[in-house]
Amino acid sequence: MTVYSGDKEYEMRHVAIPSLIEKQQVYLGEILSKVITELEKQEMEHRAMHKDKKLVDIFPPTISYHFSKIYEATSSRDSFFLGTPNLTIIAKCVDSFKDELFIRGEWGVYESVDYHYELIDYPLKRLKSYFKGDNSINEKDAYIYASFLSAQLKSIQEIAKELDDEYESTP
């Protein structure tokens, strides 16, 4: 390598590029190992902090009962009064799951959760309107919305179980 520097004399140096690359790789490997170790430590601390709060516990074992009452309310005007309180319980479960993911710093991280939440939003709003007396929605529509909401909620519950399993495992 030839170097010219102002008033200094012409100088020639021999640089062993392969040896410099090797040194850089070793140094970079050491830095990356430290980064990996630190990230694993932080991940384990995060898991330990949240592993006792099970996401599946957000959804009560009576959730199918609440859906059965919603279905009943969509099929009979005599049971119409059952719709709103049971739908409110479902909506609280949906909101609580979102809140818990937000507390964990994981809201917006999983595309599958975002996808199901987008799908849940519309039928939930339509059912709320239906039980408030919106005449633009008939019983069959309400039943279809409830069925779709139930299916999406089951997917969310499966995701919750997977996340709980992940929090209990070691990386």
- pLDDT tens for each residue of 71-98: 999 987 778 888 999 999 999 999 999 9
Residue 12's domain comprises 2-49
Instruction: Tell me what pLDDT residue 4 has.
Output: 58
pTM for the full predicted model: 0.74
Assess whether 83 and 111 both reside in one domain: yes
Instruction: Tell me what pLDDT residue 2 has.
Output: 55
Assess whether 22 and 87 both reside in one domain: no
Within the chain, which residues score under 50 in pLDDT? none
Alpha carbon 120 to chain centroid distance?
14
> Which burial class, exposed, middle or buried, applies to 75 when counting CB atoms under 10 A from its CB (0-12, 13-18, 19+)?
middle
CA dihedral over 75, 119, 150, 129, signed as positive or negative: negative
Number of compact structural domains in the chain: 2
